[in-house]
Amino acid sequence: MKCGVAVWNWLEPPRTLISFVEELLTEGFEAISVQPRQILELEEAELADLNALLDEHEMPVTVHAAVTQFTEELLRGLLDRLGARLYATTFDGVRTWAPTGMRWDAARMVQTLLMVERLGAETGVRYGIEDFPIDAEALAEFAEDLQPVRDNERWGMLLDIGHLNLRRHQAEYFGRMSVAENIARLPARIHEVHIHDNPGDRDMHMPLGSGTLDYAEAAEALRAAGFDGIATIEVCPGLHDRRPADVWETRAESLQLWRQAWEAAGTA
């Protein structure tokens, strides 16, 4: 496991992506997660400096985007600029109306996944949807749509443990199971985990330890599941009415709490 951070929640002018990555290295981070524009809008000299820094410290990059807005042009640009440094692309899923209510639009999402599978084959880019499929029942429900990707070892998912906490508080189906049981039921390989906290009723992306998430249990369950991907701290100051500059230290504090929980799980 390598630990990274979602840089879009913290990067504000005049700080540049390169200077921010340098700060993250001093805090102990080993990976970064970006939105496409943060790579595609870099000047050539900035890109060269960033890639040199990533190579020197063997820092992988994950990209997170909306599945319906991620085009072939965007992926080609990212692959051209990052090459094999691009570890995974993960997506916010999309739902559509059905006679029984809102339903995952798995067929639409798989179109984007197949595009990543095709264009990212040479460098082995992993891909998946955030929190989908959530268990074996969901996998069976969308089996026909997922059939083109489910046997590819690069297909998987992103697990957001902050959202897991929300599901356990807000939906009886998930709430009657522990954090560990929810994780054990995931039917796909986990490429990345988003890590943040909340009080259970709002998606506030708070620092670890400031909400109701049992992150130690999550770490233990992920270790038991053999997780060896990227653990991304996705604390977002703006979602809990803070400015990044005012809570700058909470990013590294969350990282340390997660690492401590991970190490404790390994000795349990």
Q: What percent of the chain stands above pLDDT 90?
A: 97
Across the range 169-196, mean pLDDT stands at 98
DSSP 118-176: HHTTTTT-EEEEETBS-SHHHHHHTHHHHHHHHT-TTEEEEEEHHHHHHHHHH-HHHHT
Total of domains in the chain: 1
For the cut 90, the answer to whether the pLDDT of residue 100 exceeds it is: no
First to last CA, the chain: 18
Rounded-to-integer distance, Cα 242 and Cα 79, Å: 34
Confidence of residue 19 (pLDDT cuts 50, 70, 90): very high
pLDDT computed for residue 214 by the predictor: 98
Across the range 17-38, mean pLDDT stands at 98
Across the range 77-81, mean pLDDT stands at 98
pLDDT computed for residue 268 by the predictor: 65
Token pair recorded at residue 268: 């349990």
Across the range 225-250, mean pLDDT stands at 96
pLDDT computed for residue 5 by the predictor: 98
Residue 162: exposed, middle, or buried by beta-carbon count in 10 A (0-12, 13-18, 19+)?
buried
Residue 165: CATH number of its domain: 3.20.20.150
Residues near 44 by Cβ (< 8 Å), separated by ≥ 6? none
For the cut 70, the answer to whether the pLDDT of residue 135 exceeds it is: yes
Quote the domain boundaries for residue 6.
2-267
For the cut 90, the answer to whether the pLDDT of residue 105 exceeds it is: yes
Average pLDDT, the chain: 97
For the cut 80, the answer to whether the pLDDT of residue 168 exceeds it is: yes
Q: Could you give the 3-state DSSP secondary structure of residue 193? A: strand
Confidence of residue 54 (pLDDT cuts 50, 70, 90): very high
**Hey, how many other C-beta atoms are within 10 angstroms of the C-beta on 199?**
15
Across the range 11-35, mean pLDDT stands at 96
Rg for the chain, CA atoms, rounded: 18
Sign of CA dihedral 85, 73, 154, 27: positive
Confidence of residue 150 (pLDDT cuts 50, 70, 90): very high
pLDDT computed for residue 116 by the predictor: 98
For the cut 80, the answer to whether the pLDDT of residue 141 exceeds it is: yes
Q: Which of 13, 63, 9, 35 is nearest to 234 (CA)?
A: 9
Strand ranges, E, within the chain = 2-6, 31-34, 61-66, 86-92, 95-98, 101-104, 126-130, 155-160, 190-195, 230-233
Task: Give the pLDDT confidence of 228-237 residue by residue, as tens digits.
Answer: 999 999 999 9
- Contact between 30 and 3 under an 8 Å Cβ cutoff? The reply is yes
- Contact between 90 and 64 under an 8 Å Cβ cutoff? The reply is yes
10-26 in b/e burial notation, b at 16+ Cβ within 10 A?
Answer: bbeeeeebeebbeebee
Task: Give the pLDDT confidence of 108-125 residue by residue, as tens digits.
Answer: 999 999 999 999 999 999
